[in-house]
Amino acid sequence: MRLRTVLATVTAGLAAATTCLSAGGPAAANTPSVHACSPAVSIDRFSDALDKTSYDGTFVGNFSALAVDRDGSLAALSDRSSLFSLDARTLAPRGVVPLADENGAALDSEGLVIDRDGTRLVTSETEPSIRRYSEDGHILDRLPVPDALRVAPAGRAVSNGTFEGLTWFRGGRSLLASMEYALSGDTSGAVRFQTWRRSGEGFALSTQYAYQPDAGLGVPEVQSLPDGRLLVLERGFTSGVGNTVRLYLADPRHATDTSGVENLTGQDGVRLVRKTLLADIAACPTLGATAKQPQPNPLLDNIEGMTITGRSKGGFKVLLVSDDNQNAVQTTRFYYLNVRTSGTTP
């Protein structure tokens, strides 16, 4: 997000939310931020207030991305082609806008950012694509995508493994999208982070980076910090065991531009995005959470969305959300974290 322009607006509204629990969440209200997940991350609370609810005839859930809107409200993107507006303090839905492609078909909508003029940029991992929408859901235009990042046979991407994360980059001068999984032929398992630079009224393809997730994990979300570093979520699921969700601090500033590298094989000369673990969410205190299926920690679910909602001492307030897949054994859950980034070097 454009932190310098939105953080001051949203911090006041969200400060109250850090000391009181939204309805439906079992964590204690007015609890100070002492629930450590790691030396760098603590969790204030969580909320299940929206789990298995509906609004204006639309199921509230399937959340794949979050963003802070210009008025300080939360925008929550469903991967079933709906964009919700939520009250930042209570999470109560205030509106919903349906989204579609140029033919009126539903999207597999995964990533979201809001531009300074209020337009919404939304990824769909079907092709993949990034479209710009007006606030009322009309398509304005579509960004170019490198051929190699398209789903096979048009390109080398695997189905359901393309643009999951989307964030402003370099102070809003660029846009960055993260692939969830590696391309066919990228045998190292590194995933591509593609960027676009502002060009006139649109966006042009720019630098690409390589990021190495942990074995068995993909990248569902990424958020840019004002200094050019990134918060990166890594996620996986093992049947009978549950979810793995880890939060990393990553630094692409000295990474190789891989836009001209056909295959990432772990070869010398390709500098990856550096990363350091901030927290494994399984190490967070349970806060009384319950799970509907096996989990290493009952607090965990299929966490997929992330946004920065304000500053905290030495770092940022970070909000996560899980995608319940409209499944009875999964939960729509919001997680309120404090993430300390000062003094941490990838």
Mean pLDDT computed over every residue of the chain: 91
Give me the pLDDT at residue 171, please: 86
Q: Residue 33 pLDDT more than 60?
A: no
pLDDT digits (tens, 9 = 90+) for 239-255: 999 999 999 999 999 99
Band (pLDDT 50/70/90 cuts) for residue 2 is very low
> Are the beta carbons of 44 and 35 closer than 8 angstroms?
yes
> Are the beta carbons of 304 and 76 closer than 8 angstroms?
no
pTM above 0.85, yes or no: yes
Q: Using alpha carbons, select from 276, 314, 278, 279 the residue that is nearest to residue 299.
A: 279
Residues 213-251: b if buried by 16+ CB within 10 A, e if exposed: beeebbbbbbbbbeeebbbbbbbbeeeeebbbbbbbbbb
> Are the beta carbons of 162 and 191 closer than 8 angstroms?
no
Question: Which amino acid type is present at position 327?
Answer: N
Name the token pair of 335. 């997680």
Band (pLDDT 50/70/90 cuts) for residue 344 is confident
Give me the pLDDT at residue 14, please: 36
Give me the pLDDT at residue 322, please: 98
Q: How far apart are CA 77 and CA 115, in angstroms?
A: 15
Name the token pair of 82. 């709906």
Q: For the chain, report the end-to-end CA distance as a whole number of angstroms.
A: 21
Average pLDDT over residues 27-38: 61
Give me the pLDDT at residue 32, please: 42
The alpha helices in 16-108, defined as continuous H runs, are none
Give me the pLDDT at residue 11, please: 37
pLDDT digits (tens, 9 = 90+) for 60-114: 999 999 999 999 999 999 999 999 999 999 999 999 999 999 999 999 999 999 9
Name the token pair of 231. 């918060």
Question: Which amino acid type is present at position 79?
Answer: D
Q: Using alpha carbons, select from 114, 105, 52, 104 the residue that is nearest to residue 83.
A: 114
Q: Which helix (H) or strand (E) holds 235?
A: strand 230-238
User: How do beta strands 63-68 and 58-60 pair?
Assistant: unpaired
Cα 151 off chain centre by: 21
User: How do beta strands 93-98 and 82-86 pair?
Assistant: antiparallel
Percent of the chain with pLDDT over 70: 90
Average pLDDT over residues 267-276: 97
Of the two residues 34 and 204, the one the predictor is more confident about is 204
Give me the pLDDT at residue 21, please: 32
Cα 92 off chain centre by: 20
